Amino acid sequence: MREINVDKITEIVKEMCINVNHFLSEDMREAYKNAYDSETSEIGKKILGQLQENLEIAGEEMIPICQDTGMAVFFVNVGQEVHITGGNLTDAINEGVRQGYVEGYLRKSVVSDPIIRKNTNDNTPAIIHYDIVEGDKIEITLAPKGFGSENMSKIYMLKPADGIEGVKEAILSAVKDAGPNACPPMVLGVGIGGTFEKCALLAKKALTRKAGEHSQTEYVKELEIEMLEKINRLNIGPAGLGGKNTAFAVNIETYATHIAGLPVAINICCHVNRHITKEI
């Protein structure tokens, strides 16, 4: 058994919150650059230039990339050989979020109840998804999620007979509906299969995959490539003002499902697709 103290987890989570809201990962910065180079619309190119400038200013002056610093979504892989000491893991993560968002000048965007809507003033609680894995480490992925794009996400319970064509239609219609609201160029996380909640979770997790990396399953990889091309022909473009860069990436995850079903979830993320992973 390897022991890990909760204070260490809190400290790391706090740093992750601050870091992820000021610096995009290398794959995302690469995606911005490729989009800028390939954009043919004059207005689209101008906007992509400004988005790159925004990233520079954010990092240099420590101003969050976007004012919506999101709801803190975590994927935590806990090694079964790990013994957590000094407290409770969920509390430790929430304490890290609290410290990161308060001390890091990040926006507090969470209300404690969906109807009463009172701000919690520290951006907690976080949304935490745990997995128990082999080994003696904890791997924490944080992907703060802004709601301009979250609100445009969709879930469809298709019929098996709808097949892959039904999936393609679902993805395209979600992107069309999202349009300028989702701050394009977007990143799409798609979950296919599982149950109602499993496909949504797959879609969310797919957003944390590196932009430009493809599925290991051949037909899924082909679908990712085909859908990215189709989406980029919709002429929604940067900021929804036209152009060929409507999406940076389409990341699809699949899972076993029931004989009677074909669930599809499309989790839309904006160009500020923040994700960071740390291993303890």
Partner 1 sequence: MDKYIETPITDEVINNLKAGDFVFITGTIYTARDAAHKRMYETLRNQEKLPIDLKNNIIYYMGPSPAREGRPIGSAGPTTSSRMDKYAPELLDLGLKGMIGKGKRSKEVIDAIKRNNAVYFASIGGAGALLSKSIKESKVIAYDDLGAEAIRELKVENFPAIVVIDHDGTNLYEQR
If one asks whether residue 270 binds ligand SF4 (CB under 6 A), the answer comes out as yes
Q: Length of the chain, please?
A: 280
**Shorter beta-carbon distance to ligand SF4: residue 85 or 151:** 151
**Shorter beta-carbon distance to ligand SF4: residue 66 or 167:** 66
- Cα-based torsion angle of the residue sequence 100, 106, 110, 112 in order, rounded to the nearest 10 degrees: 50
User: In the complex, which residue's CB is closest to ligand SF4?
Assistant: 146
Task: Give me the phi and psi of 76, to 5 degrees please.
Answer: -120, 120
**Cβ 72 vs Cβ 97: under 8 Å:** yes
**Shorter beta-carbon distance to partner 1: residue 183 or 252:** 183
If one asks whether residue 146 binds ligand SF4 (CB under 6 A), the answer comes out as yes
Residues that bind partner 1 (CB under 8 A): 47, 50-51, 53-55, 57-58, 61-69, 105-109, 117, 119, 121, 146, 148, 151, 179-181, 183, 235-237, 239-242, 270-272
Preceding omega of 125 cis (within 30 degrees of 0): yes
If one asks whether residue 149 binds ligand SF4 (CB under 6 A), the answer comes out as yes
Q: Which does 50 bind (CB under 5 to 8 A by kind): ligand SF4, partner 1, none?
A: partner 1
Q: Which does 93 bind (CB under 5 to 8 A by kind): ligand SF4, partner 1, none?
A: none
**Cβ 166 vs Cβ 42: under 8 Å:** no
**Cβ 167 vs Cβ 226: under 8 Å:** no
- x/- string (CB under 6 A) for ligand SF4, residues 175-214? -------xx-------------------------------
Using DSSP's 3-state secondary structure scheme, residue 247 falls into strand
* CB of residue 178 to ligand SF4, shortest distance in Å: 10
Query: Strand locations in 6-126, DSSP E?
Result: 73-79, 82-85
| Residues between 34 and 73 with contacts to ligand SF4, criterion CB under 6 A | 66, 68
How many whole angstroms separate alpha carbon 35 and alpha carbon 47? 11
* CB of residue 239 to partner 1, shortest distance in Å: 5
**Hey, what amino acid is at 52?**
Q
**Shorter beta-carbon distance to partner 1: residue 61 or 218:** 61
User: What tokens does 122 get?
Assistant: 């520290």
How many whole angstroms separate alpha carbon 232 and alpha carbon 217? 23
Binding site for ligand SF4 (CB under 6 A): 66, 68, 146, 148-149, 182-183, 270, 272
